Amino acid sequence: MVFALCGVYFRSMKTIIITLVFGLATLQAISQNIVGRWKCIAKLVTYEGKQLDMHAALVKSRPCTANTIYEYLAGGDFKLIITGCDEQYMNAQQKIFGKTKWKMEGGKLLTSVTKFALSNVYTVSFNGNKMTLTGESGTDIYQRVN
Protein backbone atom coordinates (compact mmCIF):
# COMPACT_ATOMS: atom_id res chain seq x y z
CA MET A 1 0.00 0.00 0.00
CA VAL A 2 2.81 2.42 0.91
CA PHE A 3 4.63 1.64 -2.33
CA ALA A 4 1.45 2.23 -4.33
CA LEU A 5 0.99 5.64 -2.68
CA CYS A 6 4.64 6.51 -3.37
CA GLY A 7 4.17 5.60 -7.04
CA VAL A 8 1.14 7.89 -7.31
CA TYR A 9 3.07 10.66 -5.52
CA PHE A 10 6.04 10.43 -7.89
CA ARG A 11 3.81 10.37 -11.00
CA SER A 12 2.02 13.46 -9.68
CA MET A 13 5.33 15.20 -8.99
CA LYS A 14 6.56 14.30 -12.47
CA THR A 15 3.41 15.83 -13.98
CA ILE A 16 3.83 18.97 -11.89
CA ILE A 17 7.50 19.36 -12.86
CA ILE A 18 6.78 18.84 -16.56
CA THR A 19 3.94 21.37 -16.36
CA LEU A 20 6.21 23.91 -14.63
CA VAL A 21 9.02 23.49 -17.17
CA PHE A 22 6.59 23.83 -20.08
CA GLY A 23 4.93 26.82 -18.42
CA LEU A 24 8.24 28.60 -17.88
CA ALA A 25 9.31 27.98 -21.48
CA THR A 26 5.99 29.36 -22.72
CA LEU A 27 6.26 32.38 -20.42
CA GLN A 28 9.74 33.16 -21.75
CA ALA A 29 8.49 32.99 -25.35
CA ILE A 30 5.55 35.24 -24.55
CA SER A 31 7.72 37.70 -22.62
CA GLN A 32 9.82 38.35 -25.72
CA ASN A 33 8.35 41.50 -27.11
CA ILE A 34 9.29 43.83 -29.91
CA VAL A 35 8.44 46.90 -27.82
CA GLY A 36 11.68 48.56 -26.78
CA ARG A 37 14.95 49.87 -28.12
CA TRP A 38 17.01 47.88 -30.63
CA LYS A 39 20.38 48.36 -32.30
CA CYS A 40 20.89 46.81 -35.73
CA ILE A 41 23.85 44.43 -35.83
CA ALA A 42 23.34 42.93 -39.31
CA LYS A 43 21.25 43.38 -42.48
CA LEU A 44 21.84 40.29 -44.56
CA VAL A 45 20.90 40.13 -48.24
CA THR A 46 21.78 37.71 -50.99
CA TYR A 47 23.13 39.18 -54.21
CA GLU A 48 24.34 37.05 -57.13
CA GLY A 49 24.52 34.04 -54.82
CA LYS A 50 26.59 35.77 -52.15
CA GLN A 51 25.42 36.87 -48.73
CA LEU A 52 26.24 40.49 -47.97
CA ASP A 53 25.91 42.43 -44.71
CA MET A 54 24.52 45.79 -45.78
CA HIS A 55 24.67 47.12 -42.22
CA ALA A 56 28.42 46.52 -42.05
CA ALA A 57 28.82 48.32 -45.38
CA LEU A 58 26.76 51.28 -44.12
CA VAL A 59 28.77 51.51 -40.89
CA LYS A 60 32.00 51.38 -42.90
CA SER A 61 30.91 54.30 -45.07
CA ARG A 62 29.12 56.20 -42.26
CA PRO A 63 30.60 55.20 -38.88
CA CYS A 64 28.02 57.42 -37.12
CA THR A 65 25.29 54.92 -38.01
CA ALA A 66 26.76 52.21 -35.77
CA ASN A 67 24.80 53.52 -32.79
CA THR A 68 21.44 54.11 -34.48
CA ILE A 69 18.57 52.98 -32.25
CA TYR A 70 15.30 51.62 -33.62
CA GLU A 71 12.58 52.06 -31.00
CA TYR A 72 9.27 50.23 -31.22
CA LEU A 73 6.81 52.03 -28.96
CA ALA A 74 3.66 50.52 -27.45
CA GLY A 75 0.66 51.40 -29.57
CA GLY A 76 2.43 50.99 -32.91
CA ASP A 77 4.61 54.08 -33.11
CA PHE A 78 8.20 53.83 -34.28
CA LYS A 79 11.11 56.10 -33.48
CA LEU A 80 14.54 56.27 -35.10
CA ILE A 81 17.29 57.71 -32.89
CA ILE A 82 20.42 58.83 -34.73
CA THR A 83 23.24 60.76 -33.10
CA GLY A 84 26.57 61.97 -34.38
CA CYS A 85 25.74 62.01 -38.10
CA ASP A 86 25.57 65.09 -40.28
CA GLU A 87 22.29 66.97 -40.22
CA GLN A 88 21.45 66.23 -43.87
CA TYR A 89 21.72 62.46 -43.31
CA MET A 90 19.71 62.58 -40.07
CA ASN A 91 16.95 64.65 -41.70
CA ALA A 92 16.76 62.26 -44.67
CA GLN A 93 16.43 59.25 -42.35
CA GLN A 94 13.74 60.98 -40.28
CA LYS A 95 11.76 61.64 -43.48
CA ILE A 96 11.98 57.96 -44.38
CA PHE A 97 11.22 56.53 -40.93
CA GLY A 98 9.30 59.40 -39.29
CA LYS A 99 5.86 58.17 -40.36
CA THR A 100 6.53 54.47 -39.84
CA LYS A 101 3.96 52.50 -37.87
CA TRP A 102 4.15 48.87 -36.85
CA LYS A 103 1.82 46.11 -35.70
CA MET A 104 1.95 42.40 -35.02
CA GLU A 105 -0.48 40.18 -36.91
CA GLY A 106 -0.47 36.42 -36.59
CA GLY A 107 3.14 36.26 -35.43
CA LYS A 108 4.29 38.58 -38.22
CA LEU A 109 5.59 42.14 -37.92
CA LEU A 110 4.09 44.62 -40.36
CA THR A 111 5.65 48.05 -40.88
CA SER A 112 4.13 50.78 -42.98
CA VAL A 113 4.16 54.47 -43.81
CA THR A 114 0.76 54.25 -45.56
CA LYS A 115 -1.54 53.28 -42.68
CA PHE A 116 -1.01 49.66 -43.77
CA ALA A 117 -2.39 50.12 -47.29
CA LEU A 118 1.07 48.77 -48.21
CA SER A 119 3.38 47.17 -45.70
CA ASN A 120 6.60 45.27 -45.22
CA VAL A 121 6.04 41.87 -43.61
CA TYR A 122 8.60 40.13 -41.43
CA THR A 123 8.75 36.87 -39.55
CA VAL A 124 10.01 37.66 -36.05
CA SER A 125 12.13 35.40 -33.88
CA PHE A 126 13.97 35.99 -30.62
CA ASN A 127 17.10 34.40 -29.19
CA GLY A 128 18.11 35.88 -25.85
CA ASN A 129 18.51 39.64 -26.33
CA LYS A 130 18.54 39.36 -30.13
CA MET A 131 15.63 39.77 -32.51
CA THR A 132 15.69 38.54 -36.10
CA LEU A 133 13.35 39.94 -38.75
CA THR A 134 13.14 37.94 -41.95
CA GLY A 135 11.36 39.40 -44.96
CA GLU A 136 11.44 39.51 -48.74
CA SER A 137 14.53 41.72 -48.81
CA GLY A 138 16.60 39.64 -46.41
CA THR A 139 17.27 39.18 -42.72
CA ASP A 140 17.82 41.94 -40.17
CA ILE A 141 19.32 41.13 -36.78
CA TYR A 142 18.93 43.48 -33.83
CA GLN A 143 20.21 43.51 -30.27
CA ARG A 144 18.09 44.88 -27.43
CA VAL A 145 19.56 47.96 -25.73
CA ASN A 146 18.55 49.86 -22.60
- Say whether both 47 and 117 belong to one domain: yes
The pLDDT value given to residue 11: 54
The answer to whether the CB of 101 falls within 8 A of the CB of 115 is yes
- How many domains, the chain? 2
- Say whether both 46 and 61 belong to one domain: yes
The pLDDT value given to residue 43: 97
CATH number at residue 114: 2.40.128
- Say whether both 85 and 102 belong to one domain: yes
Alpha helices (H) along 32-140: 54-61, 87-97
- Say whether both 83 and 25 belong to one domain: no
Identify the CA nearest to 97 among candidates 75, 121, 71: 71
- Say whether both 17 and 59 belong to one domain: no
Share above pLDDT 70 across residues of the chain, in percent, rounded to a whole number: 79
The answer to whether the CB of 25 falls within 8 A of the CB of 18 is no
- Say whether both 71 and 109 belong to one domain: yes
Q: Structural domain of residue 51, as residue ranges?
A: 34-145
CA distance 29 to 131: 12
Cα–chain center distance at 75? 16
- Say whether both 65 and 26 belong to one domain: no
The pLDDT value given to residue 32: 78
Reported as a single tens digit per residue, the pLDDT across 93-144 is 999 898 999 999 988 999 999 989 999 999 999 999 999 999 999 999 999 9
The answer on pLDDT for 8 being more than 90 is no
Question: Does the CA dihedral 69-74-76-77 come out positive or negative?
Answer: negative
- Say whether both 25 and 38 belong to one domain: no
- Per-residue DSSP letter, 137: T
- Say whether both 58 and 3 belong to one domain: no
Residue 61 half-sphere exposure, CB side, CA atoms within 13 Å? 6
- Say whether both 100 and 132 belong to one domain: yes
- Say whether both 24 and 56 belong to one domain: no
Q: Over the range 86-122, which residues count as b (16 or more CB within 10 Å of their CB) and which as e?
A: eeeebeeeeeebeebbbeeeeeebbbbbeeeeebeeb
- Averaged pLDDT, 63-68: 94
